[in-house]
Structure 1
Amino acid sequence: MNNDELWNFALACYAEPGVEKACLELQALGMDVCLLLACVWLEIRGIRQNAQRLEDLKLLSKDWQSAVVLPLRNLRQAWREQAAIDTELASLRQRVKTLELDAERTQLDRLQQATQHWSREGGSDNWLNQLCTGIDGAPDALLTVLRRAASQLDAGGAD
């Protein structure tokens, strides 16, 4: 397995039509976009989902998100208005944005490492629905956007 396989998949999937919007809407519902992309990646690879595996990924993601990604995102967003009129702050904000992306890449790397020995053995591969259980709102249409994009990438051999 390529060390950047999940990262490359995430970039390609996020660039597909409608995926960025769907991910941001899911994020607004409280979902972790990196974890969503990892789960759809596992689905298209046919990797078996079970409660323990999903909980392991959720815990790994939650710890990294709360300690690293969210503080960077919150700082970047807090500077948005002022950075529009302050070029020095705009430059710093861009550097924070780059750090945030680096942190997300690290999160995806950690998720890939955690899953590298998982097989396609029997069982459900419905990762996204299990991940989104209990989420308020109607994420089904948004999850369909992710699945459709991932399937197109898989069919094209882009992962």
Structure 2
Amino acid sequence: MSEDVWSFALDLYARPGVEPACLALQDAGADVCLLLAGAWFGWRGIACDAQHLAELRELARPLREELVMPLRALRQQWRAQARLDQRVAELRESVKALELRAERLLLERLADAGRNWTSGSGDDLDAWLQGCAGAAAEQHRDALLELRIAVTHRKQP
């Protein structure tokens, strides 16, 4: 199950409008990996409920805070210096690759957590997106709509 989530996330993120939507939600405090995992569960027809959302949030928190966010902060911190120094730019790319590996690990752990969850009514995508976006959902309904459209235009598994 977890092998599919990374391909799904890469494909979804590459679709028009998804990257800026995810970044807007991230800037508002949403966890993009959690959102992409929620989109994946919704796309697969997995039932969304408060317990599943809480379990995913609890699982995501330490990986996000201890792995993903520090790598992202370091990469962003080096942005200006990387423009001036090719060696720093190369190091920054290495940090970016580590950040992506950390995000992949997080997505795979989230997918594994739901491997035994049952299918729902097939229309839980909105619940997954809103539940995973948290408080950012209210501020960025347009971004969630962009994600929803991109997910619903993917071929079903």
Query: Could you say which residue in structure 2 is the equivalent of 1:135?
Result: 136
Query: Could you say which residue in structure 2 is the equivalent of 1:119?
Result: 118
Unmatched runs of 5 consecutive residues or more in structure 2:
none
User: Does the 8 Å contact 1:49/1:123 carry over to 2?
Assistant: no
Distance 2:38 2:138 in 1: 19
Unmatched runs of 5 consecutive residues or more in structure 1:
none
Q: Percent identity?
A: 45
Quote the offset at 1:121 in angstroms: 4.0
* Residues 23-80 of structure 1, C-alpha deviations (whole Å, 9 max, x = no match): 0000000011111011111112111111111011011111100000000000000000
Distance 1:153 1:42 in 2: 13
Distance 1:95 1:132 in 2: 29
SS of the residue 2:153 aligns to: helix
Quote the offset at 1:137 in angstroms: 5.4
Query: Could you say which residue in structure 1 is the equivalent of 2:64?
Result: 65
Query: Could you say which residue in structure 1 is the equivalent of 2:99?
Result: 100
TM-score by length of 1: 0.90
SS of the residue 1:20 aligns to: helix
Query: Could you say which residue in structure 1 is the equivalent of 2:146?
Result: 145
Query: Could you say which residue in structure 2 is the equivalent of 1:13?
Result: 12
Distance 1:138 1:57 in 2: 22
Counting only pairs closer than 5 Å after superposition, residues 46-85 of structure 1 correspond to structure 2 as 46-85=45-84
In the alignment, residue 143 of structure 1 is paired with which amino acid?
Answer: L
SS of the residue 2:154 aligns to: helix
In the alignment, residue 153 of structure 1 is paired with which amino acid?
Answer: R
Larger CA deviation: 83-92 vs 131-140? 131-140
Quote the offset at 1:150 in angstroms: 0.8
Query: Could you say which residue in structure 2 is the equivalent of 1:26?
Result: 25
Question: Once superposed, what is the RMSD of the aligned Cα atoms?
Answer: 1.8
**Alpha-carbon spacing, 1:136–1:11, altered in 2? closer, same or farther (3 Å):** closer
How many residues are aligned here? 155
User: Does the 8 Å contact 2:18/2:147 carry over to 1?
Assistant: yes
**Alpha-carbon spacing, 1:72–1:133, altered in 2? closer, same or farther (3 Å):** closer
Counting only pairs closer than 5 Å after superposition, residues 25-44 of structure 1 correspond to structure 2 as 25-44=24-43
In the alignment, residue 70 of structure 1 is paired with which amino acid?
Answer: M
